[in-house]
Amino acid sequence: MSAKRQRPEQIASRAKGNGYESGKHEERDRQIGVKKYSPKILAEQDAVLHIYAVWNWNRSDPREIFDECKKRVLCAGSNAPDIFELKDFWRFYKDQSTGNLGKHASVVSLLARAKQFNAGYKRVTGTGIESETIAEINHWLKRVVPREEGSGVKNITKPKYNYKPADLDRNLKALWQCKGVGGARKSALLEPGVKYKDIQLVLRRTPKGDPELFFKVDQRHVKNNPDPENTRFGVTGREHPLLRYNAVFFLLQLAFVDGALDCELFLEIMRGKGDGPIPWHDAWQDVPVCRAVDRQGVLHPTKAMGDGAFMGIFKGLLGSEYSYDNVSMHAIRRELGKQLDERYTETERSQHILHKDNKIFGTSYVAFVSSCDGFAAFMRESPDHSVVDYFQGLGQFWQPNLPTSLPATLGRKVLEHPEIGACDRQIQDAVGEEARARAMTARQNTIKRHRRKALKRYRGEVMEAKQHERLLHGVPLTLDDDHDPLNDLIPEKGRLAQAMVGDTSLSCEEQLRYMRDALLLLENDWSVYYRPGEEPDKGACRFCHEALASIKKRDRFICHLERLREDDAEAVKPAQDVTILDGDLLQESLTIRPKDFQNFYISVRGTSLRASPLVDIIALLEDVDLIEASGPTLVDTAEGLSDMVGLLQGLPSEPPSLYVDLEGVNLSRFGTISILQLHVLPTERTYLIDIHSLRDTAFSTSANNGWTLKKVLESDIIPKVFFDVRNDSDALHSHFGIRLSGVQDLQLMELATRTFPKRTVNGLSRCIERDANLSASERISWMKTKDVGVRLFAPEKGGSYEVFNERPLRTEIMLYCAQDVQILPRLWAYYDRKLNPGWRKRMFAATEDRVKLSQSATFNGKGRHMAMAPSGWY
């Protein structure tokens, strides 16, 4: 029944029955402008009000207690700050802020914080800020502060991208297994110059596999762009069948001549099957593509071609064929606008030509890229919006198999950061449980922050390398690295995964079969995997008859291995016959690829087992014993040292015979050297020279032939291979006056053999994992020895670097010291084969520079600069 047909008494009675009472909320209802905020908005308001209180506290003289100051300035009835105070506060706010897109908070962020401050201040104090004051502050933040020199505030926003069906399809599969006529004024392109960094060139393949190039030009210096440094207006373009219109052809020729793009690499890419963005060399990013030419025809290295030069050519062409030559770029813009008006909406046309839309900016101009195919419109050709879709969508960022976590080696390097060391000292110095808990929390937050930064850098490096590989060879059809070894143990999971990534329609019978597989996965407890016929019987083990609830998971695992030992027929089984898998141990297997284990045997408590794709899990358990290689020789006496040095004479120099590494406590001029590891390739002997005990004697003791270890290290005719010689050289020179010579730095050799990129160097562990070509058994042994050693000396693992100075040396430390230097010859041989003469020469020169730098008074062996490639290498 409608309200009109109801009696007044009915309506009034219903309202009263639901709690209405006249005048009950009179006091609140007389308030004007009252707003209710969500918990998130309230938290944001409180955060900016807290900084406002800090600003007041910082100005107080004498300085009062902060809590009392905050209570005073934010109490009910407080006077609103005047416009001068507000501007001073917002200067304080932006200088204490850390921006995500720039040095400080952006204009958009400051305006949002100002809005939260105004609302929060009124909510807390009851005092509102005048609307004229709010308008002035907003104008000042938006128009004045960003243009002040050194303000650090930029009018910059994040681009928005569209999530398209192709992106959803990729995500689900991954889960389971100047041709561009933009209408810009000529001054926008010619006066500052279009730089290489503003042109993104992309390769795609046609259905037949033929290469096709398209691009996006970022226009910065357009009329309605107040912040050209951070805001761009992109227009797209593609190849044209007529050569005179083919801007890609001309762009490539200029890039080849400049050196912004390697011609041989480009031809290799075009002949391959890859696709993706084609990068310019870093050194050319900020160089204009079209540069000025003087009267002698000399090309200027950095100056862009001027407006006058372009107009001279343009009017010269008109004058040679037209009786009317008083034509400007506006004639082209007007014609372009006319054609766009016939094909696109008013919004799209406005954004494409004027770079603004006062009504609905952003509807069509997605991710700073116009939705119009301007050149096709101008030429009356059919538009190709696939290029626009590419640059407006997320597909341009798709790259399978990007890492989502740090490798163990990089994770350990994060813990070596000085800031984390400072946190460790704060924990040690903390007095009381509460202070210690705060210090430990601060340490964890610091580690998380540095891990995020390290992961971002690592992902960037991997992305760069994968894009290069993709350009040459394309995206692999089968991604072996994504293979889940559990699919081999649980066929139902594998079948369901294959069905999920398939592109064929399923029959009703097939869908029912996959339903059964899914139900099996959902109904079973997969914390422990049992082979058919070995499931628990009424909660007890079928073989030892003990209740599984009373047996630790690892003991359940060993229980079944003991049963295998009793059965000779079962002693050597194919890979799929591993009896049981503890699900809690699965994560430990991720550092070793299943394909490494094919014909490898290990010894588990005396039982011989053929390794399966899951042996990497088993081998990392404490119960695994691997046969170690011949142990190193400890040299801790003058006699032993003399004998060893005597064996170093007359060794071959090609390949190098000596491979060197050092261990110590804070290995540098500020620390000590404990052990010098020396591997002699011809004899396959590894010596651990006890520098901690022998001290100067280690370098001054001579052999019968008169040679000393110092003479060997300083000889330029005896090649010695180090991996990152800098800190080793620093320590040797500072403590013992050793001036290394004849050094070959493996870290630089690896960098020199890379085709792309060469921005940062790799650590030893990463090189060993990728390039040492370790067998499955060697890889496991190396990882196990390294893990044991790290636990002994790393403070974050409960160890201490002083373990290198303990005497007698622990066997675990001796093995740890020896194993990396024993692998160096393999790395040298691998990189030497790939090193061309030009890069070999640069490697030797850079190694000498490293040694000289390490011996200088200003050398600092810690910091991000240690990860950067030598100057001029990238």
User: Is the pLDDT reported for residue 131 higher than 80?
Assistant: yes
286 Cα distance to chain centroid = 24
Which of 586, 607, 625 terminates a domain? The answer is 625
Statement to judge: residues 574 and 601 lie in one domain: yes
pLDDT of res. 568: 37
Phi-psi region of 43 (alpha: psi -120 to 50; beta: other; left: phi over 0): alpha
Statement to judge: residues 143 and 217 lie in one domain: no
pLDDT of res. 680: 96
Which residue is it, tokens 């490898």?
600
Does residue 2 form part of some domain? no
Highest-confidence segment of 411-425, 723-737, 743-757: 723-737
- Can you state the percent helix, strand and coil of the chain, rounding each to 5? 50, 10, 35
Does residue 26 form part of some domain? no
For residues 346-359, give the mean pLDDT.
Answer: 58
Domain CATH for 640: 3.30.420.10
User: Per DSSP, what are the bridge partners of residue 199?
Assistant: 217
For residues 858-863, give the mean pLDDT.
Answer: 91
Map residue 277 onto helix, strand or coil: strand
pLDDT of res. 684: 92
Distances (CA, A) of 224 to 186, 220, 228, 332: 14, 10, 10, 19
- Give the model's confidence band at 658: pLDDT under 50 very low, under 70 low, under 90 confident, else very high: very high
pLDDT of res. 330: 64
Higher pLDDT: 574 or 760? It is 760
Q: What is the pLDDT of residues 687-709, one digit of tens each?
A: 999 999 999 999 999 999 999 99
Does residue 21 form part of some domain? no
Average pLDDT, the chain: 78
Highest-confidence segment of 152-161, 186-195, 345-354: 152-161
- Give the model's confidence band at 775: pLDDT under 50 very low, under 70 low, under 90 confident, else very high: confident
pLDDT of res. 334: 62
Statement to judge: residues 646 and 711 lie in one domain: yes
Which of 625, 650, 675 terminates a domain? The answer is 625
User: Is the pLDDT reported for residue 296 higher than 60?
Assistant: yes
For residues 35-51, give the mean pLDDT.
Answer: 85
Distances (CA, A) of 512 to 340, 495, 518, 519: 53, 13, 10, 11
Does residue 8 form part of some domain? no
Which residues lie closer than 8 Å to 389 by C-beta, 6 or more apart? 164, 395
Statement to judge: residues 535 and 669 lie in one domain: no
143 Cα distance to chain centroid = 35
Q: Poorest-confidence range of 8-17, 84-93, 168-177, 259-268? A: 168-177
**What is the domain count for the chain?**
5
Q: Poorest-confidence range of 511-525, 555-569, 697-711, 718-732? A: 555-569
Q: Poorest-confidence range of 192-201, 303-312, 381-390, 582-591? A: 582-591
Does residue 730 form part of some domain? yes
Statement to judge: residues 211 and 170 lie in one domain: yes
Show the domain range for 60: 39-147
Q: Poorest-confidence range of 88-102, 149-163, 284-298, 664-678? A: 149-163
Statement to judge: residues 733 and 848 lie in one domain: yes
Give the max Cα distance, the chain. Answer: 122
Q: Poorest-confidence range of 47-51, 60-64, 130-134, 277-281? A: 60-64
For residues 508-521, give the mean pLDDT.
Answer: 74
Does residue 500 form part of some domain? no
User: Is the pLDDT reported for residue 181 higher than 60?
Assistant: no
Higher pLDDT: 451 or 13? It is 451
Q: Which amino acid is at 701?
A: T
Strands 633-635 and 685-690: what pairing?
Answer: parallel
Q: What is the pLDDT of residues 303-334, one digit of tens each?
A: 888 777 777 766 665 555 554 455 566 666 66
Q: Poorest-confidence range of 159-168, 494-503, 539-548? A: 159-168
With helix as H, strand as E and coil as C, how does 585-618 read?
HHHHHHHCCHHHCCCCEEEECCEEEECCCCHHHH
Statement to judge: residues 812 and 674 lie in one domain: yes
Which of 364, 397, 430 terminates a domain? The answer is 397
Statement to judge: residues 120 and 187 lie in one domain: no
Statement to judge: residues 355 and 421 lie in one domain: no
Query: 792 and 806 in contact (C-beta within 8 Å)?
Result: no
Statement to judge: residues 765 and 731 lie in one domain: yes
pLDDT of res. 734: 95
Does residue 648 form part of some domain? yes
Statement to judge: residues 641 and 620 lie in one domain: no
Find, among 645, 769, 661, the residue nearest to 715 by Cα: 645
The structure's pTM equals 0.43
Does residue 15 form part of some domain? no
Higher pLDDT: 214 or 586? It is 214
Statement to judge: residues 458 and 583 lie in one domain: no
